[in-house]
Structure 1
Amino acid sequence: MMTRCATICLAVTISSLCFADNWGSWRGPTSNGISTETGVPTEWSADKNLAWKVPLPGPAGATPVVWGDRIFLTTIDGEQLLLLCIGTNGKELWRHEVGKGNKDVRGDEGNSASPSPITDGKHVWTFMSTGHLECVTVDGKSVWKVNLQDRFGEFDIAFGMSATPVLHNGRLFVQLIHGDGKPDTQEAMVAAIDATNGETIWKTDRVTAAAKENEHSYASPMLYDFGGLTYLITHGADYTVAYSLEDGKEIWRLGGLNPHEDPKRDYHPTLRFVASPAAAEGIVVCPTAKNGPVFAVRADAKGDITNDKNAIRWVRDKNTPDVPSPLILDDLVYLCRENGMLLVLDRETGEEVYMERTHNNRHRASPVYADGHIYLTARDGKITVVKTGRKFEIVAQNETGEAMSASPVIANGTIYLRTFDSLWAIRKP
């Protein structure tokens, strides 16, 4: 009887582990901030559901990634730009110097370790604002290393290159949207890089008519990968543009995010994009900035879809999230605005379901979902847990007491929080 019970318990444990999520990129398993795990905590404190907390050598806003029993995150230590590997038991396994030359930007807003790492469980790819791009094994051994400024030209971007690359089918897709603000120059590009050796597979100039600060983008490219349709979504310089993963050819482009010739709206010279687009089956949601509009477009669009009523599903004229990326779940679109207001829209029509305040503080992290709840992270370290659905309900508000701008990570029954001071592991005993 005891042997049978032990066998059943072991089977249940193995089954639950099989359905646990790895979190290999900053927006999670399917690049949309959604976890399929259940039973993760909604409440924690120094005395409740805190498995461990370890100090970090320096601050950064990059989201960690998790695979199996290893956590990978980028950080600074003085001038060093580091990739750390920490076990899920809270013990540091190794640290690797990716480069040197950190630069802090906008006071407490960021530094050269802003892009998040990516892993497939065998290798980890790390990109820094300095242009350093490196592949290491999960044991910390370097496989290849390049500098994209040496390859593609010097970055000209006010607050540092912060876009996290996308990994798909052995290729890294990099969005480099920057420029000097002059109308006769164009530095922006999208490139596919062989993840096994660092060689360039293709490079496409990203041509737009953006001017001044709008040539700079702090958003990250996103992957659309639903129903057999897969492409790269790039965001910045007044446009959202989709590209073929195979050869870099443009599939569709959406203008009107910052109109160049519109009698009703003046061109905004500093409408640089920070929030990345979000994708779900059949839809791509494109935010803008500074209380501007939000666009939802058909995922199967082709060509220039600016002002195309068949391709644009709906437009919300104002209340863009500005910094946090949208989250699309079931029949709703969740927009955590920079000021802590949670705006929920109907996915099909764009009609407002509700807009309510969660916590009156800057919100830089993107929302994540697990088990009927959305986790919203404020800059002061307070995390608000909201129940999903058409009725606004705050389930819990949890304090860390430490500044943070990285998004939460949910992997293998644990919530990982990366603050400017520490890495936290939140899990039920």
Structure 2
Amino acid sequence: MHCGKNASLICTITCCVVLTLSSPLQAENWPSWRGPTQNGISTEKGIPTEFAGEENKNVAWKVALPGPAGATPVVWGDRIFLTSPVVEYFVNEDGVKAPKEQPQPLMLMCFDTSGKELWSRQIAESDQTARGDEGNAASPSPVTDGEHVWSFMGTGDLACFDFEGNEIWSFNVQDRYGKFDIQFGMTSTPVVEGDYLYMAILHGSMSSGETGYAKIIRINKRTGKANYAVDRPSEATYENTHSYASPILYQDDHQKYLIVHGGDYTTAHHLEDGSEIWRVGDMNPEENYNRYLRFVASPSYGDGVVVCPTAKNGPVVCVDANSKGNVTHNKKFELWRADKTTDVPSPLVHDGLTYICRQDGNVFCVESRSGEEVYPLQKTHRQRHRASPILVDGHIYLTARDGRITVFKTGREFEIVAENNLGEDMSSSPVVSNGVMYLRSFGHLWAIKK
């Protein structure tokens, strides 16, 4: 654009407007399974609420994947990373397509934002499945810091790659810290913060009276060298020693710490040495102990609180983010308990409200600090819900196992604005980056954009 002397100011303003309109507003990366702040909240605008269906509305592209998994994609700039098994199928004697019973390669895959596959690397192999097709060893999601990407598999294999697919380091967590003993497989996704990767490995024997093996681990993200591995104590027994939840990084203007969930407790830990800051318990009351109350959903945070879900018929417990010590039933720090929990989807905390999205599709909302009911159970699509919801531009996207995604408004009045159908099974949480929502169904990676 050429501008005369008298028009230079107008030219400058025009160029700024053009540049602003040509790029997504508030564009952000999505480096971990629950987003840039690990609470399922996006700051972007303009993401479609209606998409897919018979007309493939607002589907920019979709690309076939080599196998099903529940791992969430992560996005940085023009790179999309996800993990997947490579599944070979055959047609059985009943004419039904079925997977071959053989070890499957477990891959870390890299796509660009046009859907082109750039590279894939095998991390491990496994024939492990859980609950039919509910899970496999590719369940943990990758994480990235914009320079490297880390992939952890349920086999214990952990590897670091640069963005061109070059391996930087790798090792097996079981070889270093001990064999896994967990009924439905290790599904915990690491946290990357600063110079380190943080992992919470909670599992143990299901035999009567035996205490589980639980460690919080910090690893140098550039070298893979061990930094610390501290025990995380619990009195949990039976299947309750098995945690399928992922650790979460709590962060506000004043503090950062690691939240670990499982073994009948939620605990907070200093990043520097793994020491405990606070814990809350009585999530599985001793007088009526449920031997199978393993935690699946991860905690969420916001509004100065941490909301801790359980499973089955257990409670949801909310604690002040500035808690200290054992705060169980401490009125100063334990703020409220609800008798209805999520089971699998993680909660959402935003703008003074906490949304509890249950595994059966029912949703309810409470005040974040008081626990006072805002609205009672509301029905969405009646199907199992395995993915965690995300919040984008005043809407919550809630994904059912059969690929139906319900979109409802945030706020004090429950209102469904759309129900979308991918037509494929899905247990992965949606992600949003640079004006696009990415969905990982069992068959495809989808890009949704107006």
TM-score greater than 0.5 by the shorter chain: yes
- Matched with 2:385 is 363
In 2, distance between residues paired with 1:321 and 1:343?
10
* Alignment correspondent of 1:335: 356
Offset, 1:281: 4.0
Q: Does 1:63 align with 2:72?
A: yes
**AA matched with 1:187:** Y
Q: 1:33-182 counterparts in 2 under 5 A? A: 33-45=40-52, 46-78=55-87, 79-182=104-207
Partner of 2:436 in structure 1? 414
Bigger-Rg structure (1/2): 2
1:378 equivalent among 400, 412, 429: 400
Aligned to 2:366: 345
The answer for the alignment partner of 1:306 in structure 2 is: 328
Unpaired runs of 5+ in structure 1? Answer: none
* Greater alpha carbon shift after TM alignment, 307-316 vs 332-341: 307-316
Contact 2:347–2:357 (Cα < 8 Å) also in 1: yes
Q: Distance in 2 between matches of 1:18 and 1:50?
A: 20
Specify the SS of the correspondent of 2:20: helix
Map of 2:249 onto structure 1: 223
Shift of 1:19: 2.5
Matched pairs, number = 422
Percent identical pairs in the alignment equals 54
Once the two structures are superposed, what CA deviation does each residue of 1:268-293 show, in whole Å capped at 9, x if it has no partner? Answer: 00000000000114200000110321
Worse-matched range after superposition: 370-379 or 177-186: 177-186
Q: CA deviation at 1:11?
A: 2.0
Q: Which amino acid aligns with 2:51?
A: W
Equivalent residue number for residue 272 of structure 1: 294
State yes or no: 1:188 paired with 2:188: no
Corresponding residue SS for 1:213 = helix
2:386 is paired with a residue of what secondary structure? Answer: coil
Letter in 1 for 2:305: I
> Is residue 211–residue 269 contact of structure 1 (8 Å, CA) maintained in 2?
yes
SS where residue 285 of structure 1 aligns? Answer: strand
**In 1, Cα distance between the equivalents of 2:249 and 2:283?**
20
Per the TM alignment, residue 108 of structure 1 is displaced from its structure 2 partner at its CA by: 1.4
Question: Would you say the 8 A contact 1:226–1:281 is kept in 2?
Answer: no
**TM superposition shift of 1:193:** 0.8
Tell me by how many angstroms 1:229 deviates.
Answer: 1.3
Query: Paired residue for 1:427?
Result: 449
Task: Give the alignment partner of residue 22 of structure 1, picking from 26, 29, 37.
Answer: 29
| 1:345 partner letter | V
RMSD: 1.5
Distance in 2 of aligned mates of 1:281 and 1:146: 38
Contact 1:126 1:134 in 2 (8 A): yes
Q: Select the residue among 381, 403, 407 that pairs with 2:425.
A: 403
Is the Cα contact below 8 Å between 2:305 and 2:369 reproduced in 1?
Answer: no
User: Equivalents in 1 of 2:28, 2:317: separation in Å?
Assistant: 30
How many angstroms does 1:6 deviate by?
7.0
Cα distance per residue 1:14-44 (max 9 Å; x no partner): 6x44720100000001000000001111111
Q: Partner letter of residue 260 of structure 2? A: T
Q: Quote how far apart the aligned CAs of 1:138 are.
A: 1.0
Cα distance in 2 for partners of 1:293, 1:186 equals: 22
Contact 1:291 1:321 in 2 (8 A): no
Stretch moving more, 367-376 or 44-53: 44-53
Paired AA for residue 208 in structure 1: S
Compared CA separation, residues 179 and 390, structure 1 to 2 (3 A): same
Question: Helix, strand or coil: the match of 2:413?
Answer: coil
- Kept in 2: contact 1:241–1:251 (CA 8 A): yes
Unaligned 5+ runs, structure 2: 4-10, 88-103
User: Runs of 4+ in structure 1 displaced over 4 angstroms?
Assistant: 1-6
TM-score (norm 1): 0.96
Please name the residue that 1:31 is paired with: 38
Contact map agreement 1:137 1:143 (CA 8 A) in 2? yes
TM-score (normalised: structure 2): 0.91
Q: Secondary structure at the match of 1:383?
A: strand
Equivalent position to 2:277, from 240, 251, 254: 251
